[in-house]
Amino acid sequence: MNYYEFQALKHKQKKICKECGKEMLLDDIDYRFKGCFDNYFICENCQTSCIEEIRFNQSYKEHWHSENNNVAKDYVIKHKIEIKK
């Protein structure tokens, strides 16, 4: 993925922080092939991070990490993928 493709995707991807409710920034994208990539989000407000796994052009898993008020939280949200034939 080149710089211009990354910038185009960066403006399309939006995620709301589960900890503070603010909009998160897309920090990086690991692109494997079309329809299979990982989005790395960071919240500037509370420093929560989220890795969103995209498979078959659908959100598959979200790995959340937060260290607010001296309490570390890690959790995973798994979404159902519908494979279209």
CA 74-75-76 angle, 5° bins: 140
pTM: 0.77
- Give per-residue pLDDT as tens, 24-53: 988 888 888 777 889 999 999 998 999 999
> Is 11's pLDDT higher than 70?
no
Query: Quick one: average pLDDT of 60-69?
Result: 90
The residue with tokens 């279209």 is 84
